Structure 1
Amino acid sequence: MAQADVDDPEDVRAVLGAEDRRYRAMQDADLTTLDSLCAEELSYAHSSGARDTKAQYLEKLRSGYYVYRRIDHPVERVAVVGDSALVVGRMTADLDVAGVPRTIDNLALAVWTRASGRWQLLAYAPTPLPT
């Protein structure tokens, strides 16, 4: 693979911008933005071990099952190879889950794919920090 296909700075900026928009949309319950940022094939895992499809996750946000009060998402590393990108970092958040306040602090892996010239979230997987 040619070096130009790996970690192009423009691609890294675009993926980081998409990550920022995604987290902002989660906090704002902006379902239109989330719908456009998430691939139809999305697999969204939660720190509880539950996993949602795109439709399931958006419905849980729409219904108020998940209400994000605060989200921080520092990024440690972005790796872009061709039309795929991995975002490695952390996600800390205060949220309500089915009306119950929770605070989470996870390591996070987001997988993005480029389709039709734009980046979409394909998979998200948190890992709780060791106690």
Structure 2
Amino acid sequence: MTDPRIVAELEAIDDRRAAATIAKDRATLEALFAEDMVYVHSSATTEDRATFVERACTGHYDYTALTPLKRSWRVWGDTALCNGDVRIQVTVKGTAKDFVSRYLQVWRRGPSGWQMASWQSTPVPA
């Protein structure tokens, strides 16, 4: 069974990640993302850490809300997986979008604490 204290810690960190994305907080995003992070958007666009952070912090993506609707965690030692649904409100290159995505998120714990190593999402049909 997954320790509820670890789940609470991970959810707080993930909430910080969402807030930092909305705030365009480069330092926090770089601290919370593993150097080898892979981010796959629901559009299938795939980015590494540097590309996602640059685009999130310079206006290519303008996130206004990342609202978790459901999160289910599994933790094995220093690795955690989260399956969930999230409502995303974002403007991409001038086009406003509001949708729900289903995602798989991978976190790993290392010397810098928990960091997100991967995100992959797919749109949930309306």
TM-score using structure 2 length? 0.93
Output aligned runs, 1:95-114, within 5 Å. Answer: 95-114=90-109
- Residue 55 of structure 1 is matched in structure 2 by 50
Task: Please list every run of 5 or more consecutive structure 1 residues that lacks an aligned counterpart in the other structure.
Answer: 1-5
In structure 2, the partner of 1:3 is none
Report the CA distance between 1:104 and its aligned residue.
2.1
2-structure distance, mates of 1:46, 1:124: 8
- Residue identity in the other structure for 2:111: S
Give 1:117 shift: 5.7
Q: Which runs of 4+ in 1 moved over 4 A?
A: none
What RMSD in Å do the two structures reach over aligned CA positions? 1.4
Match of 1:118 among 101, 107, 113: 113
From the superposition, tell whether residues 112 and 97 of structure 1 become closer, same or farther in structure 2 (CA, over 3 Å).
same
The secondary structure found in structure 1 opposite 2:89 is: strand
The equivalent position to 1:31 in structure 2, one of 26, 30, 36, is 26
CA distance in 2: counterparts of 1:55 and 1:42, whole angstroms: 9
For 1:84, the equivalent position in structure 2 comes to: 79
Output the CA distance in 2 between the equivalents of 1:62 and 1:28.
8
- Give the share of equivalent positions with the same residue, in percent: 31
Superposed CA deviations along residues 40-75 of structure 1, whole A, max 9, x for unmatched, are 010001011001000000110122000011221133
Q: How many angstroms does 1:38 deviate by?
A: 0.3
Provide the C-alpha distance between the structure 1 equivalents of 2:37 and 2:89, rounded to a whole number of angstroms. 23
TM-score, reference length from structure 1? 0.89
